[in-house]
């Protein structure tokens, strides 16, 4: 191994660590003040794990379906006019740019509103986006368990006339092939930077 | 009470306009001292019951005005909502008291921030289509506008003559 190569790996490692810490803090997944390095490592390790849900095709979908592959995941709901379609649109664009490379990276859209988001509703909604995106729903307790596994926040908010909206964690999680949290995608970042992040996740670029 | 009368009147106006097939292709609308620039919306996925409406409102007058909402035959309700993402959590709330527009000020209703929430879509909004709406101001009264539907998920309007969104 050449000195230059080692330096490159060391630098990327440092950037990666800084990125993870920044992403966690900026997305509110980690507390801001006085988080010791030990606490940070422990919290990152706690993001992710086993889950059991139902896909938009009506089939069971669990962590076993993404085992050994890097994947992206975010929480939302279909009665969301603003943030969710924007994120799905941006992810679809990134997946199209990656082309076949993205076949190796499942992208999961997990509803936090399973009462309205049936598999049929998710299938209909996702028909407008990249066909590789998997919509996931389940019972209230299955979805609740999923949010806890990924340390995501959600809350049902009454908006009158019997209607409601959902508050939810907006981050796009990038998970490594080992099932561990790697980083979040920043929608404000240039598309080329986001593509670079996904390629590094896929292991096709340093 | 007064608000509901205004909205009912607005809805009636919209329906009347739709019936006689008035068409306006301009993207700017004026109502006294209130100027409205390019009302637009985004295509919605099938099955979506909600959408967003976006526009810029400028108060060219000398008195503050208040934008209080409106109505459209395309939706059950047209409300002012604010989206925020704070500490990584996305939230959306209705702006119940409306938006005050100070003299000389421009209010920008855009994706990711304050916007019009189209509640109860009668069908998917499709790119290239337009829909009518009436917007209601406390001082200036109500004005008929047309929303141009742009591509799904775009952050800013992409004029169709310049090519489609990616």
Tokens coding B90: 């996305």
In a domain, A10, yes or no: no
Are B90 and A85 inside 8 Å of each other by CB?
no
Domain ranges of chain B: 2-154
Of A151, A165, A51, A167, the residue nearest A108 (C-alpha): A51
In a domain, A27, yes or no: no
Quick one: pLDDT at residue B6? 56
For the segment A105-129, the average pLDDT, to the nearest whole number, is 95
pLDDT > 70: percent of chain A: 78
Of B154, B136, B21, B38, the residue nearest B78 (C-alpha): B136
Quick one: pLDDT at residue A2? 56
Nearest by CB to A86, which of B49, B50, B153?
Answer: B153
Q: Is the pLDDT of residue B25 over 80?
A: no
Are B166 and A93 inside 8 Å of each other by CB?
yes
The tokens 């999961």 sit on which residue?
Answer: A108
Are A81 and B43 inside 8 Å of each other by CB?
no
Q: How far is B49 from chain A (nearest CA, A)?
A: 6
Are B89 and A167 inside 8 Å of each other by CB?
yes
- CATH number of the domain within which A129 lies: 3.40.30.10
Find the closest chain A residue to B93 by CA distance.
A159
Is-contact A82 A107, C-beta < 8 A?
no
Quick one: pLDDT at residue B45? 87
* pTM recorded for the entire structure: 0.76
In a domain, A19, yes or no: no
> Using 50, 70 and 90 to split pLDDT, how confident is the model at B37?
very high
Is-contact A173 A150, C-beta < 8 A?
yes
For the segment A86-113, the average pLDDT, to the nearest whole number, is 95
Quick one: pLDDT at residue A193? 94
Q: Is the pLDDT of residue A65 over 70?
A: yes
Are A82 and B92 inside 8 Å of each other by CB?
yes
Quick one: pLDDT at residue B21? 35
Mean pLDDT lowest for which of A160-169, B88-97, B151-160?
Answer: B151-160
In a domain, A168, yes or no: yes
The superfamily in CATH containing domain B2-154 is: PCu(A)C copper chaperone (2.60.40.1890)
> pLDDT tens, A185-198?
987 889 999 999 99
Nearest by CB to A85, which of B85, B94, B153?
Answer: B153
Q: Is the pLDDT of residue A19 over 90?
A: no
CB count in 10 Å sphere of residue A187: 18
B89: chain A residues, CB-CB within 8 Å: 28, 153, 167-170
A163: chain B residues, CB-CB within 8 Å: 119
Quick one: pLDDT at residue B114? 95
- Interface contacts A/B by beta carbons within 8 Å: 92
Buried/exposed code over B101-130 (b: 16+ C-beta within 10 A; e: otherwise): beeeeebebbbbebbbbbbebeebbebeeb
């Amino acid at each position: 191994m050449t000195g230059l190569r080692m330096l490159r790996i060391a630098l990327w490692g440092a950037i990666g660590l800084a990125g993870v810490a920044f992403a966690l803090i900026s997305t509110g997944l980690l507390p801001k003040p006085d988080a010791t390095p030990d606490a940070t490592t422990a919290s990152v390790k706690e993001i992710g794990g086993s889950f059991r849900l139902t896909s938009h095709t009506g089939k069971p979908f669990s962590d076993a379906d993404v085992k050994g592959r890097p994947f992206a995941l975010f929480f939302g709901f279909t009665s969301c006019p603003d943030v969710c379609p924007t994120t799905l649109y941006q992810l679809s664009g990134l997946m199209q740019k990656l082309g076949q490379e993205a076949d190796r990276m499942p992208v999961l859209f997990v509803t936090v509103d399973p009462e309205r988001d049936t598999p049929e509703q998710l299938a209909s909604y996702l028909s407008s986006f990249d066909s590789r995106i998997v919509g996931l729903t389940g019972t209230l307790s299955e979805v609740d368990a999923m949010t806890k596994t990924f340390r995501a926040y959600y809350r049902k908010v009454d908006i009158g006339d019997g209607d409601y909206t959902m508050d939810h964690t907006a981050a796009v999680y990038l998970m490594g092939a080992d099932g561990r949290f790697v980083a979040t995608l920043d929608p404000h970042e240039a598309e080329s930077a986001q593509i670079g992040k996904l390629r590094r996740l896929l292991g096709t670029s340093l | 009470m007064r608000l509901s009368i205004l909205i009912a009147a607005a809805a009636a106006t919209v329906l009347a306009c739709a019936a006689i097939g008035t068409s306006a292709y301009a993207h700017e609308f004026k109502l006294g001292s209130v100027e409205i620039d390019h009302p637009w919306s985004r295509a919605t996925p099938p099955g979506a019951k909600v959408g967003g409406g976006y526009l810029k409102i400028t108060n060219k007058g000398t008195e503050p005005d208040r934008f209080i909402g409106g109505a459209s035959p395309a939706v059950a309700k047209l409300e002012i909502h604010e989206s925020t993402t704070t500490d990584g959590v996305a939230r959306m709330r209705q702006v119940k008291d409306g938006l005050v527009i100070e003299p000389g000020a421009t209010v920008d209703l855009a994706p990711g921030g304050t916007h019009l929430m189209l509640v109860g879509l009668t069908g998917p909004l499709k790119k290239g289509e337009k829909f009518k709406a009436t917007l209601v101001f406390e001082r200036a009264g109500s004005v008929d506008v047309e929303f141009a539907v742009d591509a799904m998920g775009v952050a800013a309007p992409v004029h169709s003559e310049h090519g489609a969104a990616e």
